[in-house]
Amino acid sequence: MEKPFQFTDIMLKGAFKSMKHQHIFKQKNGSTVMIDIFEFESPLGWIGKLFNHFFLKDYMKKFLLERNELIKKMAE
């Protein structure tokens, strides 16, 4: 954590083989902009890679966008 500029979530154990989620905050024109960098790898080798490509990547992007919109509404 580098308060108040950024923090990172790293999965130690769970459903993913690995997961890292960075939240970076920057000032722009008097407002705060949050940048999300989400990296993950599914288990199960090539089957997991196929699942990521055809389903999970788009699902996770939509999930993060919806969650961030809710956070934005609550913060404002």
Residue 1 within any structural domain of the chain: no
| Half-sphere exposure in the Cβ direction for 52 (13 Å, CA) | 15
Domain of residue 68: give its range. Answer: 6-75
Please state the domain count of the chain: 1
pLDDT at 71: 85
Residue 51 within any structural domain of the chain: yes
Confidence of residue 3 (pLDDT cuts 50, 70, 90): confident
Q: Is the pLDDT of residue 74 over 80?
A: yes
Residue with tokens 């809710």: 70
Residues 19-71: pLDDT tens digits? 999 999 999 998 888 899 999 999 999 999 999 999 999 999 999 999 989 98
Residue 14 within any structural domain of the chain: yes
